[in-house]
Amino acid sequence: MKIDVLTLFPEMFDGVFNSSILKKAKEAEKVSYNIVNFRDYSDNKHQSVDDYPYGGGAGMVLKPQPIFDAVSDLKGKGSASPRVILMCPQGERYSQKKAEELAKDDHLIFICGHYEGYDERIREHLVTDEISIGDYVLTGGELGSMVVIDSVVRLLPGVLGKVASHENDSFSTGLLEHPHYTRPADFRGMKVPDTLLSGNHAYIEEWREKESLRRTLKRRPDLLENYLLTDKQKKMLEELKKTID
């Protein structure tokens, strides 16, 4: 996968793309990162990328020319039809489902804005996806794009050690993930559930399934509204509802 990021602050990405899984994915040639300062594409001598909004108002608006020219150049160096993603608080609320969708593409271009907003023609004629990572406003789109890129890259084949490492993640199955424990079995009087020490794999899987339902019911019951429960899970859920306030 090829990932291009248009930003006015390329230095923000140095640590993120050169650490942990994102670094390993790059070294394994599963992904390439290209950070572009779109100020370099400005066609005026001052290299300005923003201007006052028509009609007046506070703040500055990003001009279309530098971003259109940057995206056109990147298309010529990669895919002719990449996903062009605008990081924007007005965009689609980001989800694991969206991460899985983006992970199937081979070329993503992220546009990270600053200032008051974007010229609307960028949104209408250039962008394929608008994404928001939550109902709050950040200084710019950089942090949001890092979140999206991290969640996408880890899904690429061969990036994580085991496929199951992400297949059972919270939200990947539609439910929150079950609790995890490791050694020692007894830490300062706090013990690992006996089921996990039993060696009975069928029993363990049933415990994990039930705990996943319990955690989802308690913390994110809204996820259950659109989740297709099996008959077995329906029975588990009815039992759990009697034990959860």
Residue 120 appears among annotated catalytic residues: no
Q: Is 134 flagged in the annotation as binding?
A: yes
pTM of the model: 0.87
User: From the candidates 10, 53, 64, 89, which is the catalytic residue?
Assistant: 89
Residue 154 appears among annotated catalytic residues: yes
Residue 169 appears among annotated catalytic residues: yes
CA distance 137 to 6: 19
Q: Coil, strand, or helix at residue 79?
A: coil
Q: Is 113 flagged in the annotation as binding?
A: yes
Mean predicted confidence (pLDDT) in 145-173: 81
Per CATH, the homologous superfamily of domain 2-153 is SPOUT methyltransferase, trefoil knot domain (3.40.1280.10)
Q: Is 231 flagged in the annotation as binding?
A: no
Q: What is the pLDDT of residues 117-158, one digit of tens each?
A: 899 999 999 999 999 999 999 999 999 999 999 999 999 999
Domain with CATH 1.10.1270.20 in the chain: 168-241
CB 24 within 8 A of CB 54: no
User: From the candidates 69, 116, 206, 209, which is the catalytic residue?
Assistant: 116
CA distance 157 to 70: 29
Domain with CATH 3.40.1280.10 in the chain: 2-153
Name which of 147, 146, 135, 132 is nearest 94 in CA terms. Answer: 132
Q: What is the pLDDT of residues 15-29, one digit of tens each?
A: 999 999 999 999 999
Can you read off the two tokens belonging to residue 23?
């670094």
Assigned CATH for 168-241? 1.10.1270.20
Question: For position 244, what pLDDT does the model report?
Answer: 81
How far, in Å, are 47, 178, 188 from residue 197 at the CA level? 64, 16, 18
Indicate the pairing of strand 61-62 with strand 50-51: antiparallel
Question: For position 164, what pLDDT does the model report?
Answer: 46
Over 60: is that where the pLDDT of 170 sits?
A: no
Mean predicted confidence (pLDDT) in 195-204: 96
CB 36 within 8 A of CB 70: yes
